[in-house]
Amino acid sequence: MKITHLAGATLLALATAAPALAQSSKLSLAAYGGYRGGGSFQQDASPFASIDLKSSASGALALNYAVDANRQVQLFGSYQSTDLEASSTTPTVPMKLSYLHFGGTNYFEGGIGRGAYVAGGIGATWISPGLNGLSSEVKPSLNLALGYELPITGALSLKAELRGYFTLISSSSALFCSGGCVVAIRGDGLTQVEGLLGLSLAF
């Protein structure tokens, strides 16, 4: 049998098996590309100006496990590399923000893998400045999302989400400083919003 015929037969078999695979699958993995914006701190020295995080591209992964026909538990992680904008008295600070949350999803229409859903979770935010004299911080956080999933094949689907994050800072002293400090900032909370588009594979 020619290789092209064999490849065609294999693809046909996979396409035929995909719906059954999706129906019997409890586990799915989604990979996203996105864009995240929002977030600001206050300078911990006169003139106590607000310093904002720049909006930038982001990426995320979600591992989902079905608990019934409409709900999943979810392990969700998202990453962003950005900058803390410079002010008249502070330098630009490269900043990495990562979220790792445990939560779940609930589908409004039909079953898992089709239509609109709400998602959310709680966990931690890792904030890592890329400047000498500043240290990383880990803070508690939560997220809430609205999304829509459109099936492509039995096991593969397209997902779009709008996800908001809130990180509890509650710092009355300088953040990120360990010993010397090039720039000192503080804040009560950090809020960000992220748009995500990705593919989900059930297996």
Cα 188 to Cα 203: distance, rounded to the nearest angstrom: 41
pLDDT attached to residue 192: 96
The reported pLDDT for the residue numbered 39 is: 85
pLDDT at 14 over 70: no
The pLDDT of residue 171 is 61
Give me the residues paired with residue 40 across strands: 52
Percent over 90 (pLDDT), the chain: 53
pLDDT tens track for 113-159? 999 999 999 999 998 887 776 778 899 999 999 999 999 988 999 99
Q: What is the reported pLDDT for 20? A: 45
| Stretch among 45-59, 89-103, 114-128 having the lowest mean pLDDT | 45-59
Quote the CA–CA distance of 190 and 19 in Å, as a whole number.
42
C-alpha to C-alpha distance for 28 and 202, rounded to whole angstroms: 4
This prediction's pTM? 0.80
Query: Residue 135: its pLDDT value, please?
Result: 75
Q: How confident is the model at residue 81 (pLDDT cuts 50, 70, 90)?
A: very high
Query: Which CATH architecture best describes the domain 25-202?
Result: Beta Barrel (2.40)
* Best CA proximity match to 141, nearest among 164, 119, 175, 160: 164
Question: Residue 37 has what pLDDT?
Answer: 95
Tell me how far apart the alpha carbons of residues 115 and 165 are, in angstroms, rounded to a whole number. 23
Q: Where are the domains of the chain?
A: 25-202
